[in-house]
């Protein structure tokens, strides 16, 4: 039923919990795992010209770190990819390209709590993706302690 799962990550705390849940999900279905990081070129375009190369280098390093984290936390082989563009558009497009059966991501990312229920990327992916989307909420400290 679920043969391929795409895990979208940005290396944030919210994405970290989503990675755990998605890897567990993939294990239960013995699914192939794809980890995707999207470098948001909108962030780059909005930066001053003299800082753009440094910002691109930092974002690419963050991408590699986030993808390595997913690979290190999995007992199975993980295919990784870095895309450039708008995450809300690139994530569903990647899922279609790899014929994913599901996409998983956190509800809030690097930019924090700027949505009432879902972050803007999660909201865009849910609206655009034609596959099931598993959104994973970051727990507050009390909730996390109760699960420990």
Q: pLDDT tens digits, residue range 23-53?
A: 999 999 999 999 999 998 777 788 888 888 8
Q: Looking at the 3D structure of the chain, how many domains does it have?
A: 1
What pTM value is reported for the model?
0.85
Helix axes of 87-97 and 120-128: crossing angle, nearest 10 degrees: 40
Please list, in sequence order, all residues whose beta carbon lies within 8 angstroms of the beta carbon of residue 58, skipping any fewer than 6 positions away: none
Query: Could you tell me the two tokens for 81?
Result: 């990819």
Domain that residue 94 falls in: 4-147
pLDDT digits (tens, 9 = 90+) for 121-139: 899 999 999 999 999 987 5
Q: What per-residue confidence (pLDDT) applies to 140?
A: 58
Scan for tokens 């895309």, then name that residue: 83
User: CA 71: distance to chain centroid?
Assistant: 13
Query: Could you tell me the two tokens for 105?
Result: 């991501």
> What would the mean pLDDT of 113-119 be, rounded to a whole number?
46
Contact by Cβ (8 Å): 101, 4: yes
Q: What per-residue confidence (pLDDT) applies to 137?
A: 82
Q: Which CATH number fits the domain that encloses residue 34?
A: 3.40.50.620
Report which of residues 148 and 101 the model is more confident about.
101
Q: What per-residue confidence (pLDDT) applies to 116?
A: 41
């Amino acid at each position: 039923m679920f043969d391929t799962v795409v895990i979208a990550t940005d290396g944030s705390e919210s994405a970290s919990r989503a990675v755990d849940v998605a890897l567990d999900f993939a294990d239960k279905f013995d699914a192939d795992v794809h980890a995707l990081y999207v470098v948001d070129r909108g962030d780059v375009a909005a930066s001053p010209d003299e800082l753009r190369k440094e910002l691109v280098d930092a974002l690419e390093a963050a991408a590699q770190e986030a993808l390595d984290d997913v690979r290190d936390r999995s007992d199975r082989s993980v295919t990784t990819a870095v895309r450039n563009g708008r995450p809300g558009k690139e994530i569903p497009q990647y899922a279609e390209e790899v014929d994913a059966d599901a996409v998983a991501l956190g509800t809030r990312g690097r930019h924090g709590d700027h949505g009432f229920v879902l972050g803007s990327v999660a909201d865009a992916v849910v609206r655009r993706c034609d596959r099931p989307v598993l959104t994973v909420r970051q727990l507050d400290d009390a909730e996390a302690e109760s699960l420990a």
